Amino acid sequence: MGRDALALRETTIMTQTTKYVVGITDHMIGVPDIEADVLGPDVAIDFFATTNEAEFDPERLARLDALMVWGAKIGPRSVAHLSRCRGVVRYGVGYEKIDLAALEKAGIPFANNPDYGVEEVADHAMAMILSLHRRLWEHDARARNYRTGWQVHSLKPLSRSNKATVGVVGVGRIGTAVVNRLKPFGFHILGYDPGQPPGHEKAIGYERTESLEALLARSDIVTLHCPANAKTFGLLDADGLARLKPGAIVVNTARGELLDDFDALEAALRSGHLAAAAIDTLAKEPPDDHPLLTAWRDREDWLAGRLVITPHNAFYSDQAAVEMRRNAANTVRILLDEGRLRNQVRDGS
């Protein structure tokens, strides 16, 4: 269904059976037909189709009973016009672009969407962990130029999985799924997550560390699965990278703000203190130019196979994309029907 047809359909609903109006700022997968199916015929959808908050019409915001958000920023400018809004729901897990304080001041609850794509992100992280641990991309990059010999070009060091330690920072839904995937390979698993209760490590099967520093110092591979907030911004900045065990590997499928110092990352990779890194999320997407990214794009020899970047699609599978949209729409439907917002997130939580 095209946008014009959808708009016409919504106009018809609004004049006949509409009880609610739900705004959708944007999303990356066409028109909101799945959301319309879940929300039902008594809901008119106002699809803004933009991530630019400045383009949100105040009059359209004022008529919304709920607002669904993908990549747009929601700040005081928008919140001021959400006069009848019962709740704001984000399609994804992260919410650093949402001004929770402004929403809370206006009495508008906010929810994220944590129960989708867990398997996909965990699988993506595992693919990165195993590929960098086995130095697959580096072997691939260098094997292109081998003209004499073949097996003699095995890269060293290259240890067995059961001789390596993986540190999992954040042992929530996705971190736990990663732990469960790591176990059959024989890795020794450390976990750091002060939000998990005592004994969680025994139930799941990892060794708890009481500090991030202890985990970084002991881990051959560090994989990040924590949210971006005031405590975790720049988690692996220059100081954090310096605390890593020499020759370590870093995997980030969480938030770009955790590993956002390209100068420090380049220095750590050039010096060899960091053996390799794999990144799925960046603080700015697409990223600005930087010498490290230029070296990555140009396949410079010193970096060959040691830096892997994927375009923030660890969450994605055909099934997860549908699950995400249905779950977010269901959250709104429950809010409209019952006045209850599941997965609610509060400022400071």
- Catalytic residue set: 255, 285, 312
DSSP 8-class letter at 150: S
Residues 6+ apart with CB under 8 A from 128: 223, 251, 253, 278, 280, 308
Residue 70 to residue 179: CA distance in whole angstroms: 29
Q: For residues 231-255, b (16+ Cβ closer than 10 Å) or e, as one string?
A: ebebbbbeebbeebbeebbbbbbbb
Residue 306 to residue 278: CA distance in whole angstroms: 8
Helical pair 136-143 and 118-133, crossing angle rounded to 10 deg = 50
The SS3 call for residue 207 is strand
* 3-class SS shares of the chain: helix, strand, coil, % to 5: 40, 15, 45
